[in-house]
A and B are shown apart, each in its own frame.
Chain A
Amino acid sequence: SAVISQKPSRDICQRGTSLTIQCQVDSQVTMMFWYRQQPGQSLTLIATANQGSEATYESGFVIDKFPISRPNLTFSTLTVSNMSPEDSSIYLCSVVLQGAGGANVLTFGAGSRLTVL
């Protein structure tokens, strides 16, 4: 199975700054997604990272706040811009991999835990 590496694994950020999270996969993948998990909550889909074109954002998320890059089939970045304490969350990169029995399974990186002061 593919290895998904995210960095930073955690960071403490100041209000008003921006932070870029990187996601590297050790094999080419077509579908890559970014999720957010706020404290005590489940996962919320931010956007689909499309290779070579603009990301597709879910309702409530906009490109100015969460710019995403996907320059190739193994790498993507998510930037959290102009951060506020409400952005304190775990941000998870995920890709679709073929699992046992041929099922296409959403598989997650370890996540990036951001704390905004």
Chain B
Amino acid sequence: GQNIDQPTEMTATEGAIVQINCTYQTSGFNGLFWYQQHAGEAPTFLSYNVLDGLEEKGRFSSFLSRSKGYSYLLLKELQMKDSASYLCAVRDQGTGGFKTIFGAGTRLFVKA
């Protein structure tokens, strides 16, 4: 089976840096994804890690350690519009390798 854990809520200040952690357990790891979801909208893709290490994409970076079952999403220079839920998702090798299971999400509040 699969299990994904991430904090329920976080608060950070505009301009600051925030790190959202995710730990996971899966029987057949095939990639880890981070999605952003604003209230009332569908999730949008942020980042993808399949190998260990850091992937950087502008203000957003994502890190993966497969041996530890651990990832984090790093958001720099926070803006008010970054207030959203951030979903950690793991792809399993079942179902042709594309079955994706989501964590409960971390609600990030960015304050002025």
Q: A42-B104, A43-B102 are in contact. Are A106 and B45 (CB under 8 A)?
A: yes
Distance in Å: Cβ of A92 to nearest Cβ of chain B = 6
Give Cα A47–Cα B31 distance, bound, in whole angstroms. 20
Give Cα A108–Cα B42 distance, bound, in whole angstroms. 6
Distance in Å: Cβ of A35 to nearest Cβ of chain B = 8
**Contact segment of A14-22, A61-69, A72-80, A97-105:** A97-105
| B107 to A, closest residue via Cβ | A40
| B31 to A, closest residue via Cβ | A103
Give Cα A56–Cα B99 distance, bound, in whole angstroms. 11
Chain B at the A interface: mostly helix, strand, loop or mixed? strand
Chain A at the B interface: mostly helix, strand, loop or mixed? strand
A window 11-57: CB within 8 A of B:
30-31, 33, 35, 41-45, 48, 56
Distance in Å: Cβ of B46 to nearest Cβ of chain A = 10
Total A-B pairs, Cβ < 8 A = 48
A window 74-112: CB within 8 A of B:
92, 96, 99, 101, 103-111
Which residues of chain A are within 8 angstroms of B44 by Cβ–Cβ distance? 108
Q: Which residue of the partner chain, among A41, A43, A56, A103, contacts B43 with CB atoms under 8 Å?
A: A43
| Mask of B77-112 contacts with A, CB within 8 angstroms, 1/0 | 000000000010101000110111111110000000
Q: Which residue of the partner chain, among A31, A92, A107, contacts B45 with CB atoms under 8 Å?
A: A107
Whether, in the assembled complex, B29 has its beta carbon less than 8 Å from a beta carbon of chain A, the answer is no
For B41, B102, B104, the residue with the greatest tally of chain A CB atoms inside 10 Å of its CB is B102
